């Protein structure tokens, strides 16, 4: 598989690289600001670029002050979600998912809350917004629990106009090489809270910030280096210009898959997925991109803890992903041809 990065986007990238060289800033410069501003337009949220999706989660957890407290995470996610909470010094408590959307189940999450619960991390698995997010957000607000959104899969997702990262305290996107918006590496913290993002901009740089070309240092004992470099930021600007093409391409293919598969994720009114994955249940496919997760990827399994999480284990067993990655060479076939190709 070749990651499609068409000639026009390469040329645009080379132009921006020239701007970086001419600016004399290879880190913490104008290109990072431009990338953040454009991401703000994309999600409607304040944004702070960081080195990875995991670094973004860890930063938000540090901000929320979870050390010595409990953080509820879904079992069925990539280990990064739980690991970020562990690295931030929290005890991880695993919650079950729904079979319908693969995302955190509200009732199970509520049943896991204790007086020590400091945060809940919802993962928008597969590229759509978690169906229970409104209920989870109201509960967290009422009980003063920080709601953190892992948006690693959710580029381009929205539900009635609300993007991933806009329901809770903050969210973290990943730009890892296989994501819907790949930069090779990188992440973006998003939030409705301007002050939180101002804190992040210092936190990612040991308490320093470059303002109008001058380094300003703040007293901040927590800070570390989660800066991105200006070359990655330039690629970020280009990929944001590319995103409408990538998303429309995936949605075009999803419309064909919708004609082929009936056992899939059925979206509620107003949901628009970014289609990081196209999930099907109980289906043999001639070509697939595996599973979003196997049960061996569950955080509790990695920690060696046996838990009753019936929906998570059911989903791990019964789902797989039809090939919806940008550039799939069969995408231009008709729905009927794809059906014959995938199902025989």
Give the number of other Cβ atoms within 10 Å of residue 75's Cβ: 29
Question: In whole angstroms, what is the distance from residue 258 CA to residue 130 CA?
Answer: 20
Task: Work out whether 150 is an interface residue with ligand PLP (CB under 6 A).
Answer: yes
Interface with ligand PLP by CB under 6 A: which range of 108-116, 148-156, 198-206, 226-234?
A: 148-156
Question: In whole angstroms, what is the distance from residue 116 CA to residue 167 CA?
Answer: 22
Q: Site residues for ligand PLP, window 115-134 (CB under 6 A)? A: 123
Handedness of CA 285, 156, 123, 200 (dihedral sign): positive
Residue 57 phi, psi dihedral angles, 5° rounding: -60, -45
Interface with ligand PLP by CB under 6 A: which range of 46-54, 109-117, 137-145, 295-303?
A: 46-54
In angstroms, give the least distance from the CB of 142 to ligand PLP. Answer: 26
Nearer to ligand PLP, 127 or 342 (CB): 127
Nearest residue (beta carbon) to ligand PLP: 53
Nearer to ligand PLP, 54 or 223 (CB): 54
Consecutive H or E run containing 278:
strand 278-281
Task: Work out whether 54 is an interface residue with ligand PLP (CB under 6 A).
Answer: yes
Question: In whole angstroms, what is the distance from residue 141 CA to residue 103 CA?
Answer: 19
Residue 169 DSSP code = S
Work out which of 187, 274, 299, 323 binds ligand PLP, going by CB under 6 A. 187
Q: Is 286 exposed, middle or buried (0-12, 13-18, 19+ CB in 10 A)?
A: exposed
In angstroms, give the least distance from the CB of 81 to ligand PLP. Answer: 5
Total residues belonging to the chain: 344
Task: Work out whether 188 is an interface residue with ligand PLP (CB under 6 A).
Answer: no
Q: Tell me if 70 sits within 8 A of 91, measured CB to CB.
A: yes
Work out which of 106, 176, 226, 325 binds ligand PLP, going by CB under 6 A. 176
Nearer to ligand PLP, 210 or 235 (CB): 235
Task: Work out whether 239 is an interface residue with ligand PLP (CB under 6 A).
Answer: no
Q: Tell me if 16 sits within 8 A of 238, measured CB to CB.
A: yes
Task: Work out whether 78 is an interface residue with ligand PLP (CB under 6 A).
Answer: yes
Task: Work out whether 58 is an interface residue with ligand PLP (CB under 6 A).
Answer: no
Task: Work out whether 163 is an interface residue with ligand PLP (CB under 6 A).
Answer: no
Q: Tell me if 80 sits within 8 A of 57, measured CB to CB.
A: yes
Task: Work out whether 81 is an interface residue with ligand PLP (CB under 6 A).
Answer: yes
Task: Work out whether 275 is an interface residue with ligand PLP (CB under 6 A).
Answer: no
Beginning with the edge strand found earlier in the chain, give each strand of the sheet holding 46-50 in spatial order.
46-50, 187-191, 170-174, 146-150, 117-123, 70-74, 91-95
Nearer to ligand PLP, 59 or 205 (CB): 59
Work out which of 32, 117, 174, 205 binds ligand PLP, going by CB under 6 A. 174
Which residues of the shown chain bind ligand PLP in the complex (CB under 6 A)?
Answer: 52-54, 77-78, 80-81, 123, 150, 152-153, 174, 176, 187
């Amino acid at each position: 598989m070749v990651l499609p990065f068409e000639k026009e986007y390469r040329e645009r990238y080379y132009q921006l690289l020239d701007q970086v060289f001419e600016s004399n800033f290879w880190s913490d410069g104008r290109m990072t600001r431009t990338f953040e501003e454009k991401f703000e337009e994309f999600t409607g949220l304040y944004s702070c670029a960081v080195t990875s999706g995991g670094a973004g989660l860890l930063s938000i957890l540090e901000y929320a002050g979870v050390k010595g407290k409990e953080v509820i995470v879904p079992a069925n996610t990539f280990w990064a979600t739980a690991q970020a909470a562990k690295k931030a010094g929290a005890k991880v408590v695993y919650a079950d998912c729904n079979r319908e959307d693969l995302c955190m189940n509200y009732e199970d999450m509520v049943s896991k809350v204790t007086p020590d619960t400091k945060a809940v991390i919802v993962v928008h698995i597969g590229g759509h917004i978690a169906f229970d997010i409104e209920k989870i957000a109201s509960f967290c607000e009422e009980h003063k629990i920080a709601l953190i959104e892992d948006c690693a899969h959710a580029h381009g997702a929205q539900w009635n106009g609300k993007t991933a990262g806009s329901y809770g305290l903050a969210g973290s996107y990943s730009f890892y090489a296989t994501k819907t918006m790949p930069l090779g590496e990188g992440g973006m913290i998003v939030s409705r809270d301007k002050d939180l993002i101002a804190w992040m901009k210092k936190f990612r740089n040991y308490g320093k910030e470059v303002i109008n070309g001058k380094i300003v240092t703040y007293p901040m004992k927590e800070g570390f280096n989660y800066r991105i470099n200006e070359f990655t930021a330039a690629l970020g600007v280009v990929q944001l210009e590319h995103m409408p093409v990538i998303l429309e391409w995936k949605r075009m293919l999803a419309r064909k898959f919708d004609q082929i598969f009936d056992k899939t994720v059925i979206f509620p009114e107003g949901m628009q997925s970014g289609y990081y994955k196209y999930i099907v249940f109980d289906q043999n496919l001639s070509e697939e991109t595996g599973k979003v997760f196997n049960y061996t990827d569950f955080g509790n399994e990695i920690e060696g803890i046996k838990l009753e999480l019936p929906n998570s284990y059911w989903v791990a067993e019964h789902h797989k992903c039809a090939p919806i990655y940008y550039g799939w060479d069969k995408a231009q076939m008709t729905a009927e041809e794809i059906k014959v190709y995938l199902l025989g």
